[in-house]
Amino acid sequence: MKEQLHELKEQVILKIKESNTVKDLNDVRVAYLGKKGPITDLLKGMGKLPAEERPKMGALVNEIRESVTEILEERKETLEQQAIQEQLENESIDVTLPGRPVELGNHHPLTRVVEEIEDFFISMGYEIAEGPEVEKDYYNFEALNLPKGHPARDMQDSFYITEDILLRTHTSPVQARTMEAKDGAAIKIICPGKVYRRDSDDATHSHQFTQIEGLVVGENIRMSDLKGTLDLLAKKLFGAEREIRLRPSFFPFTEPSVEMDISCFKCGGTGCNVCKKTGWIEILGAGMVHPNVLEMAGYNPEEVTGFAFGMGPERIAMLKYGVEDIRHFYTNDIRFISQFHRSEA
Amino acid sequence: MLVSTNWLSNYVDWNELSVEELAEKITRAGIEVDGIIDRSFGMDNIVIGYVNNCVKHPEADKLHICQVDVGGEISQIICGAPNIAEGQHVIVARPGAILPGGMKIKKAKLRGEESNGMICSLQELGIEGKLVPKAYAEGIYVLPNDVRAGDSALTHLGLYDRILEFDLTPNRSDALSMLGVAYEVGAILSKDIKLPEISYSASAEKAQSVLKLSVEATEDNPMYVAKVVKNVKVAESPQWLQNTLMSAGIRPHNNVVDITNYVLMEYGQPLHAFDYDRLETKEIVVRHAREGEKMVTLDQVERTLNDQQLVITNGKEPVALAGVMGGANSEVREGTTTVVIESAYFAPSSVRQTSKEVGLRSDASTRFEKGVDPNRVAEAAERAAQMMAELAGGEVLEGSVTFDELDKTPQRIILSPDYVNNRLGMKIAMDEMKTIMDRLQIPTDLINGQLVMDIPTRRQDLKIKEDMIEEIARLYGYDEIPKTLPIVESTPGGLTPYQAKRRIVRRYLEAAGLSQALTYSLASPKDAQAFALETAPVTKLLMPMSEERSILRQSIIPHLLDATTYNVARRNESIALYETGSVFLGIEEDGLPKEVEHVAAALTGKWVHHAWQGETKKVDFFVMKGIVEGLFEQLGLHERLQFTKATVDQMHPGRTATVWLDDQSVGIIGQVHPTVQKQRDLQETYVMEMNLQAIMQTAIEELLYEAVPRYPSISRDIALVVDRDTTAANLEKIIQQAGGKLLKKVQLFDLYEGKNVDEGTKSVAFSLTYFDPERTLTDEDVVKAHSKVLDALTVQANAQLRS
Ligand SMILES: [Zn+2]
């Protein structure tokens, strides 16, 4: 019986080793350790043994059973591991295949420029003022020190609807309207918007374009305040290393009037094709609000002063992103618009 | 304005600077120097030659073989110019010379004959054809005989000169003259300037004895000065004068005309020269033209005049269109012996009007339009008389014939230094301000701590205190202005709720996959009202540049479709664009059109495109609808949104809906009509346009937290067969009404038409979620509510339940 048992053990171990799947292993377990298996049979046959041998044999059977079970479990563990391994191998993918695209749209490059400027001024306590694109001659010209008959307001240059109504040629009428509405109170505004001029569309002209203007009115507003403000703007838009310079210029609605140049962001001032070898790039026009303009809006120019500035987002975008043709902004070619997607922060 | 730096040296000594430094200083002080032109173009080996001998080329009709003395050496040169002749002094480009066009001069053989250089025209030296004297316009330039062969031709022609190109702002008309520029440069460099000295000996005969003047239109012509010069010999001007005019962009004609043009450029005072004998009447009358009166101007064009236009007449007929152009009948020409020099002040508005009406702008008219210096009118006439005496052998008659009612007093401006400093944010001392005025040669007194300035009439741009602040600041230097920030009663700043919502809408649409387009507001008559949400009168331009852009748009969709077609034609077949912007409807009470902000979108091609996993989806109505629904959700208006089937022109009749916000129609959504798609070269394309303004102005409830459910919900599905025309919205409404308080959510999850369903019907399945926030629902509760729903569907929608 003892030999029988050892023989059986060897046999089972061999079977276990031969099992290559968890299922085979289970079959072995059922066949040898199950109710109908030889070990059970042996246990059943113990009754035939002498009483004194029974405990010894019982212990042996149990010992064999336990050791077989142990080996079986070990084998099971190994086989399960193998199975998982196999599954993982089967599930392996080519991680270089393209991902499922998340289709994002993007905003127009001009919106990008306008919002950057808006946000900069909002952070300095400015409000955004808006107004109609179709304007009265009064707000577009007269209130801005451009009386009727002024050479700068040729019918040929503007889109008139009637003699007194036209598509605004700049966003300055929003300034005129705001000053009138504020009734003598201080002002800090930015006016972005579409404007229209009677120009033929070409690489540098567009009959419709955008402008963004700023206006500050209050007691003791000085030209140095204008300079400080524009200096910060230039650094925000074109980098902290930028320097600005002001040059005298002329606009009917400001006096003194200036044009602002920034040091060239491409060559740093040594001269290149972007700055036409001068080291400076003209960015915007500005000035101290003309006393006539203040007066027409109901301010006393002896007591209240102001500054105003205006720039073209198209020009800024063209400089910043190297766009060579203004018409790109209005063609809506997706191959163009989609390039202004990524964040610059 | 072209400023020859050589000519400028006559009036102000700038030569301690380089031309580049001078240009930079002028620019920084306020007159933008756009460019610097080197008139020598770096040329070399250009000499004066003398044609010793000139014979026809035996092998070529149009060529001549010339033996040219180029300074102690005879060179054979083949010349093709028609006006080449023996005995001429000519310009020779010797081998090694490089001409401005890039042509390199080399020894060459022309039809077998050696040629050692080229005899040049002025054009070949880089002078614009329109500036070349007419006599030499078609051939080589012939120099006078007082020159020496072998000398530099460039020196002789004054081409070692650099020209500053001024981009003048409209206020700085004072710099439209060399004297004006000299005052400016003198102020910038703190240098004195040298004015022309006028002296000549006049004849005993008085101008008044040979010419009568009467000015009838005194308002448009408050000052008129005429001088008479006898015994003039009309001829070519001396070379220096011709050179100077060409450097200023003016073509030389003859000495008399050239002198008037020279003085024009020097003083900024336009002059005119009449042939005294051709005036016939010994009289000048200035008046307005008679309506319909005709005259032939110098350019040989007959012009019909109106009664607003000012003319100079001989008492009978016009001899000049005042300030704009002379008449052909009194032009100075070869053989003219007595000249009348006219120097006048014509009212700017009059000249502007006339020059616009006749379509003529000249160096003269642009200066009159700006207003010439009243104090230079008489002096300029004297300057011209002096030059005619010197250069044309003329005899100037004593005095002048004058009409003068022109105010020539300087304007006085009084300014306190505080006023200046408070506006600049600087601390400039009064003495320094006075020094700046001295540099500008503006007579200034310091009285009671104020600057009292008498503004010379040459600076008509200086009218108010602020103008003087600019003068002080620009000469003190804008670089000296400190950088500060404005101190204003503090405002919070920021976007208005409306502006903030606009950004939310844009960011949402971009996150949803649409890119922002920006199209034109001006549309064609065909597109202006297409797809419009409402019918309103259009706003038309008075003078459109093209019909294509003649009317303000009432809908954004047509231009978005244009953009879509543009992209599709460039093989970008899947396009998703949106735009926010104004449309223009009717006319409001204030006369302006009603401007309403809209949002529109266009979709075509594939929406989902992930090909290798077999996942692609074309755009359809429900893609666009989902975008619109999401937009309303973003704005907190989702539950107030509804869609009803609609018929819209140019849209697919079965696939178009009106978008409702509460009971207000706020937009349209749907497929573009297949016929329109075809016309526009588009595949299936979906569009939407909504009144963004109305949507964004709709008030929403405050955002308040709702308790997270503590009890579970129970779901029940229903499958129904209903009539094909029964809408989902209708079924949902029935379910909602019947479901009562416990019904929390209804969701359509299946739709089927076709096999296994009777024709004219469809199968629809909904998932209903029941929930009570107060307790756990029992089966009984749900059965009760659910059976009400089933009953209602059976009765109200004639639905058959499917198990
Ligand atoms: Zn550069």
Query: In chain A, which residues have their Cβ closer than 8 Å to the Cβ of B624?
Result: none
Domain membership of residue B707 (yes or no) is no
Taken as a whole, chain A contains a residue count of 345
Assess contact for A255 and B456: CB atoms under 8 A. no
Tell me the percentage of chain A whose pLDDT exceeds 70.
Answer: 98
Closest CA to B354 of B320, B397, B385, B386: B320
Domain membership of residue B491 (yes or no) is no
Domain membership of residue A321 (yes or no) is yes
Specify the DSSP class assigned to residue B290. P
User: Are B561 and B686 within one domain?
Assistant: yes
Domain membership of residue A101 (yes or no) is no
User: Are A132 and A248 within one domain?
Assistant: yes
pLDDT for the residue numbered B421: 97
Assess contact for B259 and B381: CB atoms under 8 A. no
Residue B426, CB-side half-sphere exposure with 13 Å CA sphere: 24
- Per-residue pLDDT tens digits for A262-275: 999 989 888 898 88
Among the three residues B480, B511, B533, which one is the final residue of a domain in this structure? B480
User: Are A156 and A221 within one domain?
Assistant: yes
pLDDT for the residue numbered B178: 98
- Per-residue pLDDT tens digits for B305-342: 999 999 999 999 999 999 999 999 999 999 999 999 99
Domain membership of residue B88 (yes or no) is yes
* Euclidean distance between CA atoms A186 and B474, whole angstroms: 28
Q: Is the pLDDT of residue B490 over 70?
A: no
Min Cα separation A112/chain B (Å): 11
Picking from B422, B493, B608, the nearest residue to A222 by CB comes out as B422
User: Are A246 and A142 within one domain?
Assistant: yes
* Euclidean distance between CA atoms B183 and B189, whole angstroms: 10
Among the three residues B667, B697, B727, which one is the final residue of a domain in this structure? B697
- When pLDDT is cut at 50, 70 and 90, the band that residue B645 belongs to is very high
Mean pLDDT within B657-674: 97
- Interchain proximity B487–A220, CB inside 8 Å: yes
Tell me the percentage of chain B whose pLDDT exceeds 90.
Answer: 89
In chain A, the residue whose alpha carbon lies closest to the alpha carbon of B545 is: A198
User: Are A80 and A117 within one domain?
Assistant: no
Picking from B170, B493, B542, the nearest residue to A122 by CB comes out as B493
pLDDT for the residue numbered A56: 82
Strand, coil or helix: B756: coil
ipTM value:
0.88
User: Are B151 and B94 within one domain?
Assistant: yes
| CATH number of the CATH domain containing B689 | 3.30.930.10
Residue A57: CB atoms within 10 A of its CB come to 18
Strand, coil or helix: B569: helix
| CATH number of the CATH domain containing B62 | 2.40.50.140
| CATH number of the CATH domain containing B274 | 3.50.40.10
Q: Is the pLDDT of residue B702 over 80?
A: no
pLDDT for the residue numbered B540: 95
What are the residues whose beta carbons fall under 8 Å from the beta carbon of A12, sequence distance 6 or more?
A: A28, A32, A68, A71
What are the residues whose beta carbons fall under 8 Å from the beta carbon of A296, sequence distance 6 or more?
A: A142, A143, A145, A176
- Interchain proximity B488–A221, CB inside 8 Å: yes
- Per-residue pLDDT tens digits for B210-220: 999 999 999 99
Cα(A263) to ligand 1 centroid in Å equals 8
Picking from B495, B520, B590, the nearest residue to A330 by CB comes out as B520
pLDDT for the residue numbered A278: 86
User: What's the pTM?
Assistant: 0.87
Q: Provide the terminal-to-terminal Cα distance of chain B, rounded to the nearest Å.
A: 92
- Per-residue pLDDT tens digits for B431-464: 999 999 999 999 999 999 999 999 999 999 999 9
User: Are B389 and B272 within one domain?
Assistant: yes
Assess contact for B369 and B206: CB atoms under 8 A. no
Min Cα separation B142/chain A (Å): 39
Domain count, chain A: 2
Buried b (16+ CB within 10 A) or exposed e, A4-20: ebeebbeebbebbeebe
User: Are B293 and B356 within one domain?
Assistant: yes
Residue B795: CB atoms within 10 A of its CB come to 11
User: Are A74 and A133 within one domain?
Assistant: no
* Euclidean distance between CA atoms B266 and B272, whole angstroms: 15
User: Are B552 and B591 within one domain?
Assistant: yes
Among the three residues A91, A121, A147, which one is the final residue of a domain in this structure? A91
Min Cα separation A238/chain B (Å): 18
User: Are B166 and B152 within one domain?
Assistant: no
Domain membership of residue B709 (yes or no) is no
Domain membership of residue A149 (yes or no) is yes
Domain membership of residue B672 (yes or no) is yes
- Per-residue pLDDT tens digits for A12-67: 888 888 888 888 888 888 888 888 888 777 777 777 778 888 888 788 888 888 88
User: Are B72 and B94 within one domain?
Assistant: yes
CA distances to A15, A39, A44, B87 from A2, rounded to whole Å, are: 20, 12, 15, 146
Among the three residues A91, A122, A149, which one is the final residue of a domain in this structure? A91
Residue B641: CB atoms within 10 A of its CB come to 18
User: Are B598 and B578 within one domain?
Assistant: yes
B775 near A CB under 8 A: no
- Per-residue pLDDT tens digits for B277-292: 999 999 999 999 999 9
B500 near A CB under 8 A: no
- Per-residue pLDDT tens digits for B357-390: 999 889 999 999 999 999 999 999 999 999 999 9
Tell me the percentage of chain B whose pLDDT exceeds 70.
Answer: 100
- Per-residue pLDDT tens digits for B758-771: 889 999 999 999 99
Domain membership of residue A125 (yes or no) is yes
User: Are B682 and B735 within one domain?
Assistant: no
- When pLDDT is cut at 50, 70 and 90, the band that residue A345 belongs to is low
- When pLDDT is cut at 50, 70 and 90, the band that residue A162 belongs to is very high
- Interchain proximity B516–A121, CB inside 8 Å: no
Domain membership of residue A176 (yes or no) is yes
Helix A313-321 to helix A109-122 angle (10° resolution) is 110
Among the three residues A46, A61, A91, which one is the final residue of a domain in this structure? A91
Domain membership of residue A15 (yes or no) is yes
Domain count, chain B: 6
Candidates A303, A334, A336, A341: best to mutate against B (most CBs of B within 10 A) is: A334
User: Are A86 and A187 within one domain?
Assistant: no
Min Cα separation B661/chain A (Å): 26
- Per-residue pLDDT tens digits for B733-785: 999 999 999 999 999 999 999 888 888 999 999 999 999 988 898 989 899 99
> CA A213, A216, A219 angle in degrees (round to 5)?
165
User: Are B673 and B692 within one domain?
Assistant: yes
User: Are A73 and A175 within one domain?
Assistant: no
Helix A223-238 to helix B417-424 angle (10° resolution) is 20
Which residues on neighbouring strands pair with residue B53, listed in sequence order? B67
Q: Which of B1-10, B124-133, B770-779 has the lowest mean pLDDT?
A: B770-779
Q: Is the pLDDT of residue B158 over 90?
A: yes
User: Are A113 and A47 within one domain?
Assistant: no
User: Are A232 and A317 within one domain?
Assistant: yes
Q: Is the pLDDT of residue A10 over 90?
A: no
Return mean pLDDT, chain B: 94
Which residues between 413 and 442 in chain B have a beta carbon less than 8 angstroms from any beta carbon of chain A? 422-426
Domain that holds residue B211: 203-404
Q: Is the pLDDT of residue A326 over 70?
A: yes
- Interchain proximity A135–B592, CB inside 8 Å: yes
Mean pLDDT within A324-344: 89
Domain that holds residue A124: 109-340
pLDDT for the residue numbered A46: 75
User: Are B511 and B637 within one domain?
Assistant: yes
Strand, coil or helix: B20: helix
User: Are B356 and B387 within one domain?
Assistant: yes
The pair of structure tokens assigned to A244 is: 């600005």
pLDDT for the residue numbered A344: 66
- Per-residue pLDDT tens digits for B187-211: 999 999 999 999 999 999 999 999 9
Specify the DSSP class assigned to residue A142. G
User: Are A81 and A119 within one domain?
Assistant: no
| CATH number of the CATH domain containing B10 | 3.30.56.10
